[in-house]
Amino acid sequence: MSEAADSYRGATIVFATRHGKERQAAAPFHEQLAAHVIAPDDIDTDQFGTFTGDIERTRTPLSAALDKALLGTALTGRPYALASEATYASAWGVLARHHELLLFHDRERQMTLTENTVVTVRGHGTTTVAGAEDAQAAAVRFGFPATHAVALIDDETGVVARKGLADTDALRAAVTELLARGAPVHIGPDYRAHANPERQVVITSLAERMAYRLTQLCPACRTPGWGVVGVERGLPCDVCGEPTAGITADVYGCGMCGSTRPSPRPNDTISAQWCNACNP
């Protein structure tokens, strides 16, 4: 095996997290690379923004994840780092789109790789509640107590949030405390990884993809990290033949030299229901 191919085998990789994400990455990286994933003893990733808005999120997911990874390497002196960033957006009614980005940064090569996924989740956003009973009913709808709850108010002093509410007593106490402040109380899911089992599953899946990717060499420069970087569209309609937004190929690329190669998908056409010409 070449030196490049062996770059990450047995390495120690820091996951820049304060919320236990290293636990989701540990098994995939050990299985694929015999690598060890650790987290810094004391890292403040909340400085890059919080889901509850008590610290505003001003960066893009990519820049926030890279900032976290760079902080992880600075704190530990390790050259390889992982970081992730999630966003949630309303989709259909009580459902939402969860976009998770996992980033790997190699400080020695100055190479950054990303893996992304979008999944549908329930219970996005917050519900305004009048008391503890309302709060518990709202929390059950998003999977409480397996998914922890947050309770928050937003008044003239800013956002005040009580996070990581893992049982009924904690939820009731937080709601009672915040109601006493005289502002509307909102209940929602805690999206932080250690408090959200659904997000843990997503991070594990991305870690599996990233670990495997680090075993794949670029055909041009032989650097590890060859993987999907985009898609080509234009799959023709099976009725009129016009190009559509359907994907014709996955584009594989290198994070080091920038070379790319398309890998065609098996379908030759797409149903007319997805064609703007047939269904404008």
pLDDT at residue 25, as a whole number:
98
pLDDT at residue 126, as a whole number:
87
Helical ranges in the chain per DSSP H = 22-33, 61-76, 132-141, 168-179, 197-213
Determine how many CB atoms are found less than 10 A away from the CB of residue 265: 14
Q: What averages of pLDDT result for each successive group of 10 residues across the chain (280 residues)?
A: 73 97 98 97 94 93 97 97 94 79 97 96 85 93 94 92 97 96 94 96 98 97 96 95 95 97 94 91
Going from the C-alpha of 262 to that of each of 12, 51, 99, 116, 259, the distances in angstroms are 32, 37, 24, 19, 11
Taking the C-alpha atoms of residue 165 and residue 109, their distance in angstroms, rounded to an integer, is 42
Taking the C-alpha atoms of residue 186 and residue 130, their distance in angstroms, rounded to an integer, is 9
Determine how many CB atoms are found less than 10 A away from the CB of residue 268: 10
pTM summary value: 0.92
pLDDT at residue 62, as a whole number:
97
pLDDT at residue 78, as a whole number:
97
pLDDT at residue 171, as a whole number:
97
Going from the C-alpha of 160 to that of each of 151, 155, 167, 175, the distances in angstroms are 8, 8, 20, 12
Single out the residue of 276, 110, 63, 111 nearest to residue 210, CA to CA. Answer: 111
